[in-house]
Amino acid sequence: MDNKLTMEKLVSHCKATGFVYPGSDIYDGLANTWDYGPIGVELKNNIKRAWWKRFVQENENSYGVDAAILMNPGVWEASGHVASFSDPKMDCKTCKTRHRADNLIEAHAKGAVTPDTMTNEEMEAYIAEHHICCPRCGNFNWTPIRQFNLMFETSRGTIGDDQSKIYLRPETAQGEFVNFLNVQRTTRAKVPFGIAQIGKAFRNEITPGNFIFRTIEFEQMEHQQFCKADQSESYYNTYKQKAWQFLLDLGFNQSHLKFKDHDKLAHYAAAACDINYLFPIGWSELNGVHNRTNYDLSRHQEYSGKSMLYTDPITNEKFIPSVVEYSIGCDRLLLATLCEAYEEQQLENDTRIVMHFAPAIAPYKVAVLPLQKNLSEKAKDVYNNLRKHFMCTYDEAGSIGKRYRRQDQIGTPYCITIDFDSLDDDSVTIRDRDSMEQHRIKITDLKNYIAEKLEF
Ligand code: GAP
């Protein structure tokens, strides 16, 4: 990552190139919502595909689900979200803005204290003692801290009373827990096995912005490993390593990643840690791995009245499985991927912005560029053949140098140039985005050559 990369620079690069636009842009936006553009949606889909391949397709005894976003409200009673999925918020009485007390302390103390372990009273005392003022207007004029539930509510049917209140799910995990019995029965899977899901989640977050780091609507990629209690510690370590390796395979530099154990464990959890990434805003959570004991299935047994007991087919032992959860936000991973890929490179006679994505997740794999417009027939043939196999783009506007730069800044790993020799020798020049090296290759060899480079 370029040291000088700031969030502002990244936001403007993303908007200019079509990765990410502000949500509802022509209506002056809606805070903390963003839309993915033509390049962004490709990147996001490729990240999801890579994750699914690693954690479902190649992961022993793991199965996917795609559960409904709207669930029976009983699910959220059982999970504890109705009672306690909240943030400590304070209002500035002068400028009428709302803030998270823990974020105010974190920003003030720069990591010297851990607000997660403080009570509301302790946070209020800290804010008073250090005279932490409103970051918006600079006044010290706070309401007391109140807990605000983060779940978005909506209502079924036409009557907005409590009977018809339902929630947009704040995490995908519960869709995996409530389908434990269904998946086990239909796949005849034996514990230990895993259930994975990729899908939208919604949280009514008050955030300081920070682009797609924390949004009110986002996608999660979650994998729950169901196992015996005495296997959970080993799976916890396994998923820590799998989560880490996945990031390395996407091209992350190890020095930009670190494990962080949770300072405060949920009462049911046996262990929990995050992988933090060095974002332009500093070290922040990228994903979590949690040993959740058998709390989730026990709670669903209690609230739904359905037995979650699993019978081991060999030993006949009956038990409620424990869960090791690995959870990563797709949008947050995409943000980290953008940060990691971005480089402003000084060349001998030029500068370029280049996005060094792993080829497997790059939005376009190939750009086809005729050296001159009168070579476009041959170039279109090559393009039309390759686009049957890979996401490709075609560009014949401007000098070849400018066209290379356009592809560099959206991270296209291979540019193919059709020149006059191509008409005679059925070969093209292929240029590597990172090294900028070029070599000739037969048109008939292109498909295999590129496919090999895209393996993940
Ligand atoms: N099921 C466990 C769970 O939801 P979490 O730590 O609240 O745990 C998991 O969320 C991951 O989801 C985080 O590590 C982060 O990558 C992503 N995430 C959470 N809240 C987010 C938000 N408001 N915007 C974007 N990503 C978010």
CATH topology of domain 7-77+152-340: BirA Bifunctional Protein; domain 2 (3.30.930)
What residue segments make up the domains of the chain, in order of their start? 7-77+152-340, 86-149, 364-453
Which two tokens mark 69?
Answer: 């976003």
Q: How far is the CA of 336 from the centre of ligand 1 (A)?
A: 14
CA-CA distance, 105 to 309, in Å (whole number)? 44
Q: To test the ligand 1 pocket, which listed residue (332, 335, 337) has its Cβ within 8 A of the most ligand atoms?
A: 332
CA-CA distance, 419 to 431, in Å (whole number)? 13
Which two tokens mark 416?
Answer: 């193919």
Compute the Cα dihedral for 352, 356, 362, 363 and give only its sign.
Answer: negative
CA-CA distance, 41 to 137, in Å (whole number)? 37
CA-CA distance, 335 to 331, in Å (whole number)? 6
CB 214 within 8 A of CB 87: no
Q: How far is the CA of 272 from the centre of ligand 1 (A)?
A: 14
Burial of 170 (0-12, 13-18, 19+ CB in 10 A): buried
Q: What is the pLDDT of residues 283-295, one digit of tens each?
A: 999 999 999 999 9
CATH code: domain 86-149 is 3.30.40.230
- pLDDT tens, residue order, the chain (456 aa): 445 899 999 999 999 999 999 999 999 999 899 999 999 999 999 999 999 999 999 999 999 999 999 999 999 999 999 998 999 999 999 998 889 999 899 889 877 888 888 999 999 999 999 999 999 899 999 999 999 999 999 998 766 566 689 999 999 999 999 999 999 999 999 999 999 999 999 999 886 679 999 999 999 999 999 999 999 999 999 999 999 999 999 999 999 999 999 988 988 999 999 999 999 999 999 999 999 999 999 999 999 999 999 999 999 999 999 999 999 999 999 999 999 999 999 998 889 999 999 999 999 999 999 999 999 999 999 999 999 999 999 999 999 999 999 999 999 999 999 999 999 999 999 999 999 999 999 999 999 999 999 999
Determine which helix (DSSP H) or strand (DSSP E) holds 81, and give its type and residue range: helix 81-84
Determine which helix (DSSP H) or strand (DSSP E) holds 322, and give its type and residue range: strand 322-329
CA-CA distance, 175 to 191, in Å (whole number)? 18
How far CA 147 is from CA of 85, 98, 114, 129, in Å, comes to 9, 12, 18, 21
Whether residue 340 has its Cβ less than 6 Å from ligand 1: no
Whether residue 224 has its Cβ less than 6 Å from ligand 1: no
Which two tokens mark 342?
Answer: 């971005």
CB 324 within 8 A of CB 365: no
CATH code: domain 364-453 is 3.40.50.800
In the block, tokens 């990563």 appear at 328
Burial 77-105 (b: 16+ CB within 10 A, else e): ebbebbeebebbbbbbeeeeeebbbbbbb
Residue 299 phi, psi (nearest 5): -65, -40
pTM value is 0.94
C-alpha Rg value of the chain to the nearest Å = 25
CA-CA distance, 105 to 98, in Å (whole number)? 14
Whether residue 332 has its Cβ less than 6 Å from ligand 1: yes
Which two tokens mark 258?
Answer: 């670190």
Q: How far is the CA of 181 from the centre of ligand 1 (A)?
A: 25
Q: How far is the CA of 220 from the centre of ligand 1 (A)?
A: 7
Closest CA to 56 of 186, 245, 171, 198: 198
HSE, side-chain direction, 13 A CA sphere, residue 166: 13
